[in-house]
Amino acid sequence: MPFILAEQRDADVAKAFEDYRKYLDSCKDRFPQGAFSLATSDWYFNFSDHRCPHDAWLASVTVSESKSDEVDGLRLVSITILLLNAYHDGEIEFVYPNVYSYSIGASHSQQGHDDWRYDEFRMNERGCLVHEIEWAGYGSAHRWIIESDDVAFSYRELARQ
């Protein structure tokens, strides 16, 4: 059940974030550390913070598959999303090291993916992390859902020219 995506957030942003914080607290013991740290940080949803993904532009998305070192014949899928932040002075990277499923759609990508609008982290009934991402302007057809074991986040300032 979404908490802070467009439908909930646009209706009542204060209540949406209050409900999301309660949800995160109730799932604290089941949440992967990387995702929980992002979702509960004081900067991740702060639009004035340069690390915040809101309004960032997609630079690249990479889906890769590799052989498992532990189980013969098992293939592991990982996803890396690289964004140019909203201020165009930094790069934001999300790495999902072990992806169980994903849906990445774009119904109108002739002019790019538009801006990263809203996103949230949840746990599903199977105990997997769900990261749901909405891109501005394109409705439900431009929504990405990634199920994984966790997410790693990094931010790098770009050199000034």
Query: pLDDT tens digits for 55-100?
Result: 999 999 999 998 767 666 688 999 999 999 999 999 999 999 999 9
For residue 51, the enclosing domain spans 6-157
pLDDT over threshold 60, residue 138: no
Per-residue pLDDT reduced to its tens digit, 117-130: 999 999 999 999 99
The secondary structure of residue 139, as a DSSP letter, is: G
Say what the pLDDT of residue 112 is: 66
pLDDT digits (tens, 9 = 90+) for 18-66: 999 999 999 999 999 999 999 999 999 999 999 999 999 999 999 999 8
- The pLDDT, as a whole number, for residue 9 is 76
DSSP letter for 115, please.
B
Q: What total of structural domains would you count in the chain?
A: 1
Q: Which two tokens stand for residue 29?
A: 């013991």
Per-residue pLDDT at 13 exceeds 90: no
Contacts of the segment 122-130: beta carbons below 8 A, 24+ positions apart: 122/1, 122/2, 122/3, 122/23, 123/27, 123/30, 123/31, 126/100, 127/30, 128/100, 129/31, 129/32, 129/35
pTM over 0.95: no
1 is a domain residue: no
- Identify the DSSP state of 127: S
Helix (H) or strand (E) holding 83: strand 75-84
Q: H or E segment at 33?
A: helix 33-40
Q: What is the pLDDT of residue 109?
A: 60
